[in-house]
Amino acid sequence: MNLVRWEPFEAMNLFNPFPGLFGRPSLAGGEYQDWSPTADISETDDEYLIRAALPAVKKEDVEVTYEDGMLTLKGERRQKEQQKGEKFHRVETYYGNFERSFALPDVIDADAIKAEYKDGMLTIHVPKLEPKKVTTIAVQ
């Protein structure tokens, strides 16, 4: 299983004085900034667990696929309608489409992958295959 290094200062753009010009679009121009859900990956004796935080995302707006060793989460967080008389002073929540992929090891049971969604948390259960038994061959 591949792990991805978390870069806590990436979102702050401290070292890029022109964030809209070199990479992600900024919110100042009315464009949505790319976002990706945070994920925790753990392992038990029987399975790998991937937990992705998807607050304010509806279950029907999430899709989980597995193909050629890659597990992919796709979806969209939709912006709420602005209420009459409501004026935003600051918006720090990212909206729009997201996609996140994870490379899985070969020792998984792809047909038994299950996903469940509750309280803004997507949990994906990736069962491991039974380890192959080592057979000893007598040398003649």
Per-residue pLDDT of the chain (140 residues; tens, 9 = 90+): 555 566 555 555 554 444 444 444 444 444 445 788 999 999 999 999 999 999 989 999 999 999 999 999 999 998 877 778 888 788 788 888 999 999 999 899 999 999 999 999 999 999 999 877 888 889 98
SS3 of 133, please? Answer: coil
The answer to whether residues 107 and 48 touch, using CB atoms and an 8 Å cutoff, is no
Question: Is 2 a domain residue?
Answer: no
Chain centroid, CA 45 distance in Å: 23
Question: Is 103 a domain residue?
Answer: yes
Provide the residue range defining the domain that includes 71.
34-79+93-130
Number of domains in the chain: 1
Domain with 106 in it: what CATH number? 2.60.40.790
DSSP category for residue 11 = G
Residue type, 115: A
**pTM for the structure as a whole:** 0.68
Question: Is 18 a domain residue?
Answer: no
Question: Is 55 a domain residue?
Answer: yes
Question: Is 57 a domain residue?
Answer: yes
The answer to whether residues 60 and 77 touch, using CB atoms and an 8 Å cutoff, is no
User: What DSSP string describes 36-103?
Assistant: ---EEEEE-SSEEEEEEE-TT--GGGEEEEEETTEEEEEEEEPPPPPPTT---S------EEEEEEEE
